[in-house]
Amino acid sequence: MPLLESPGSLWLGLTIPAILLLWILRPRRQRLRVPSLLLWPGSPAERRSVRPWQQLRNHPLLWIQLLLALLLIAAAARPFLPSDEAARHLVVLLDSSGSMRARDVAPDRFSAAKAAVLEMARGLGPDQEMAVIRMDEQPRVLVVGARGAAQVESALAGEEASYGPADAGTAVALAAGLTHGPAEWVMVGDGAVSLPGDLRRPSGTGFRFLPIGLPSGNVAVTSLTARQDSTRLVLQAGLRNSGLERASGRLQLLAEGQMVGAREWQLGPGSETQVTWTYPLPGHRWYEVRLSGLSPAYNALEQDDSGWVAIASPGQARVLLVSAGNSFLTRLLSLQSGLQSYQTAPADWPSIPSQGAEYPLVLFDRVWPETLPPGSALLIGPPIGEPFHPQQAWPRREHPLLSHVDWSEVQVGTARSLPLDSSWETVIDSEGGPLLAIREEGGRRQAALAFDLGQSDLALRPAFPILMANLLDWLLPRPEAAPRTLSMGAELPLEPSPLATTVWIEGPDGARTDLAPPWPPRPFRPRMPGLHRLMEEREGSRVESLVVAAGYHPQEADLSPRTPNLPIAGEGDQSPARGFTAFWPWLAAAVLLLSLLEWWVDARGPERFGRAKDAGRRGRGDGETGPISRMVAHKTDRIREWGKGIPSPRGRGLG
């Protein structure tokens, strides 16, 4: 049974009764060729119009026009004839990539593609079934085994185009998994799909492409970068016109949502340009550029009309190590990202605060200062208190500072009973007193390790770097040193602080997406372009870092028409698609030929048909005359009557 790509076009069948109605109401004046209009009678009865609503005539033009209408309807429905087996299983690859958000067709390309899939579903026969695969950065099966339009419509409800490129390889793998035996694959989209060169469809499957969209222009913000030195910040935005016509407009610059500048720009077809701003430091945390004043005729895609950049922190956190020498601590601090470590001798420590040097965190190795610094402090093995030899330790395993810390193999030879008041919280306890205690007071945090690293094997155990990383994150909470940028469709692996209890991200629209727990947190994949805020909830604090999801992708920004090709396994790229025969182009050619025939019949046909009828009547000897003979006889009788009142020459004296 033939299938129709566009069964909704069958409504054009209403043109057939319209043609018949026009023929019923059509005036039927017969065209005759006469030698002169002087012989034409002036009688009103000869010039009156014919009456409407008369019986249809058996005219060649009527049959040609009806046949033309039928062929046009059939060609608009785009019929094709698949093989008997392939026609039973239809697999639709629905392009849902970012370019399908283009508005060159109303309301957008993706909506038009969904409507085309629904039309195909309405044309399914009783022995046919359809599967629909959404083809975006994470392809998935929307419906399988559908035998009617209702199932397909329910599966497509609520679906929207994504913002990134499509993963064609995964989509084809899904389609191959749903194909058991001969089948027909149909890709519905704008062709902006990158098919790997080695990608093949299974043998015995047909493939065809149903194009959506028109050739359209697009202007995109390709990038927004920031460069800063000691005195100024330089912002540079890239623009690209992928259309075929010259475009112009304005580029607005916003700082944390407030407009701070604008630039005019002009771009020829297929060209690029850069727009630059310079501002003194300190600047803002993030900036955005937006296109404005651009006609939709030159910019059919809106998702790449903006660009964002987050400004990195100008410096690293300063940490001071007060120690006579400890290779374990020195090596540990050098491996910590986002920290700039310094070291001084214990004898020099009293003079450092008076010098005005600020250190958010100070580590005291075997030092007990008379006065603690104004910032955070970590005391390791202070030489104060009575020594004792712990035989057993009781760590609080649920405490965030002991996250992923295995204390079971750690041995401590000698510790000290530190003079700690009730404001200190014990994290690891023993029979002689706390081995690790912390407190938070007046906006500063302090931690005390009651034993020297040389009096234990902690520095040789895997627990040491983990415990110290947890302590540093708690003592000196800091956001990411450099904001991160990723393109749509990409994943961002997350490595939150061990102290984090909850990790989530807030999108540009304010929507919250929880990433952890459960642990480890799942990778972040942006739903939409823009500035995202990655949040970490820690014990008593919250840390925020910025993630930029760029909306520009070169493949999606180019809206020119493309036709993808998916060869059969074992064949070259030029192998023809098997499993169907599309014959609507032949119908279109027949429409053209019939249009020429209609013109010829209308221009010459009636006269020739009239002479043929007259000749037939004369050949039969039925005594009837043709229309021209009747007209000539009628004119002759009228002339004779008119001439009776004119005297002949003989009556004027010649006889």
Cβ atoms of 239 and 219 closer than 8 Å: yes
Q: What is the pLDDT of residue 274?
A: 92
Q: What is the pLDDT of residue 104?
A: 92
3-state secondary structure 340-373: EEEEECHHHHHHCHHHCCCCCEEEEECCCCCCCC
Cβ atoms of 102 and 34 closer than 8 Å: no
The three-state secondary structure class of 216 is coil
CB contact burial 83-114 (16+ within 10 A = b; e otherwise): eeebbbbbbbbbbbbbbbbbbbbeebbbbbbb
The closest of 411, 448, 453, 454 to 433, measured between CA atoms, is: 448
Q: Checking DSSP bridges between strand 376-380 and strand 444-449, what pairing results, if any?
A: parallel
Domains of the chain: 1-28+51-83+579-621 (no CATH), 84-214+561-578 (3.40.50.410), 317-475 (3.40.50.880), 497-551 (2.60.40)
Helix/strand/coil percentages in the chain, nearest 5: 30, 30, 40
- C-alpha 60, offset from chain centre: 54
Distance of alpha carbon 452 from alpha carbon 639, whole angstroms = 142
For residue 468, give Cα distances in angstroms to 336, 441, 459, 544, 587: 10, 21, 10, 22, 78
206 sits in which H/E element? strand 205-211
Q: What is the pLDDT of residue 217?
A: 93
Amino acid at 163: Y
Cβ atoms of 484 and 549 closer than 8 Å: no
Q: How many residues can be counted in the chain?
A: 655
Distance of alpha carbon 135 from alpha carbon 188, whole angstroms = 10
Any residues with CB less than 8 A from the CB of 449 and at least 6 apart, and which?
378, 379, 380, 381, 435, 436
Task: Give the N- to C-terminal CA distance of the chain in Å, as an integer.
Answer: 93
Distance of alpha carbon 526 from alpha carbon 511, whole angstroms = 11
Q: Checking DSSP bridges between strand 541-550 and strand 580-582, what pairing results, if any?
A: unpaired
Amino acid at 110: F
Amino acid at 381: G
618 sits in which H/E element? helix 584-620
Distance of alpha carbon 389 from alpha carbon 412, whole angstroms = 7
Q: Nearest 5°: phi and psi at 497?
A: -65, 145
- C-alpha 26, offset from chain centre: 54
| Tokens linked to 8 | 């909704």
Give all strands (DSSP E) within 554-620, no chain letters: 580-582
Amino acid at 69: A
Distance of alpha carbon 501 from alpha carbon 572, whole angstroms = 55
Tell me which residues of the chain have a pLDDT lower than 50: 1, 43-49, 83-86, 481, 571-579, 609-610, 612-626, 646, 648-655
- Looking at residue 164, the DSSP 8-state letter turns out to be S
Q: What is the pLDDT of residue 27?
A: 60
For residue 387, give Cα distances in angstroms to 270, 323, 407, 414, 495: 78, 21, 21, 6, 39
Q: Checking DSSP bridges between strand 232-241 and strand 3-4, what pairing results, if any?
A: unpaired
Q: What is the pLDDT of residue 201?
A: 87
Distance of alpha carbon 239 from alpha carbon 292, whole angstroms = 13
CB-count burial class (<10 Å; 0-12, 13-18, 19+) for 335: exposed
Q: pLDDT of 26-75, one tens digit each? A: 665 666 676 766 655 554 444 444 555 666 667 777 788 888 888 888 87
| Tokens linked to 655 | 């006889």
The three-state secondary structure class of 278 is strand
The three-state secondary structure class of 112 is helix
Distance of alpha carbon 248 from alpha carbon 70, whole angstroms = 47
